[in-house]
Structure 1
C-alpha cells in the first residue's frame, strides 16, 4: 500500500450545527485528495456527534464464563424482532474522565461487578459513515459468581438484567444471530481468539 492519506489531505470548508439536543448533528463541507490525484469537488455530509464511549467485556478466566447485560434499545424497535439486546457493559466518556475510569464506573453501575484487573485492547469506530463515535475496548477480569440481579441508574431510566454464561454458550448466541450488536460481536470474536492465553495467565 504505497499511498497513505492523513488529515492534511482534507480541506475543511465549513461546519455548522443542524441540531443540538442530548446528541448533536453537524454539517461538514470539505474537499479531499483523490486516489487518482488532484482534489474532489465540495462534499457535504451530516455527522451524528454523540461523543466517545467505552465497551467492557467482563470475563472470568477461572470459570471460563462471560457476563452479558440485557436492556431495551429503542432505536432498533422497527429493525429487529426485539429491542431488548444482549450486550457487554458500555458507556459514554464524560468530560474530565479517562476511558479506563469510565470502564470501571460502568462495570459497577451496569453489572454490580468490580474488576480485579482492567485491560485495554483496542479502539474502533462504531459507524464511521455517519458518526464520529469511537469505542475504547477493554476486557475486565471478574469473578462471574458475583454477577446477578438487576442494575442501572434510576435517573437514566436504566433497567438492566445481568446474565452469566459459559464462553462457548455466549459464542453460540453470536453464531445463531441472537447477539446482533457490533460491540458484543467484536468482543466475543476477540475473546474466542484469545481466551486460551487469558486462561493460561489466570
Structure 2
C-alpha cells in the first residue's frame, strides 16, 4: 500500500492575527492567515472564523452478556430546522476539563448522565468534528457496562441537562443507524465500530 506523505505542516501557515470575535456560552475566534499552496508559493490572505471548543470524550456503553447498548436521549438545539425531532439518541459525552484524561471524563460523564459505572474502556478513535469550522476533537471509546443498572432520567440540573436513558439490543441500534434514526457522528462511528468488532468484544467481555 502506497503511503500518502504530508507535504505541509503548521510551519507552512502564517497567522497574521487571531482575535476573539465572540465570547459567550460558546466562543468564536477570527483568524487572518495565509498558507503555502500545492503549486508553490503562498496563497492570498484569508479570514476564517473558528468555533472554539475543548476536546470532548464520548463513550458507547456496551453489555457483552446481554448484547445491549446504552443510549441517551436529550434535546439538541443544533437539530432544530432539520425536519426531525431535536431530541437525539446519543452516547455518554462530556467536555474534557483541564488536566483530566479522556478516560476520566468518560467515567465521570457515565455517572452524571446515566448513573452507570464503566469497566474497561476500549479506544475506538480520535477525530476532528468539522475542521473547516471548529477545532473540536472527539476521543471515542466503547465502555464495558452492566446494562441492567441503566435506567431513569439523569443529568445536572444546573447545566440544564434532562437526559433519558435507553437500553436496546445492539442489533436494534445498528438498525437505527441504517434508517437514519441515529444521525449524529459520534454515535454512528461508535456503533459501526461495534458492528465490526462485535465478536471480539463478546469474546473478551462476556462472562457467560
Matches within 5 A, 1:76-155: 76-155=79-158
The yes-or-no answer on 1:15 pairing with 2:22 is: no
Aligned pairs, number: 202
1:28 matched residue in structure 2 = 31
Let me know the Cα RMSD of the aligned residues: 1.1
Secondary structure of the residue aligned to 1:138 is strand
Secondary structure of the residue aligned to 2:191 is helix
2:177 matched residue in structure 1 = 174
1:167-197 CA-to-partner distances (Å, cap 9, x unmatched) read: 1100001101100111111111111111111
Ranges in structure 1 where 5+ consecutive residues have no aligned partner: none
Ranges in structure 2 where 5+ consecutive residues have no aligned partner: none
Of 69, 73, 77 in structure 2, the residue corresponding to residue 74 of structure 1 is: 77
Could you list the structure 1 runs, at least 4 aligned residues long, displaced by more than 4 angstroms after superposition.
none
Secondary structure of the residue aligned to 1:100 is helix
The alpha-carbon deviation at position 2 of structure 1 amounts to 4.5
2:189 matched residue in structure 1 = 186
The alpha-carbon deviation at position 4 of structure 1 amounts to 2.6
- Residues 124 and 190, structure 2, Cα contact 8 Å, conserved in 1: no
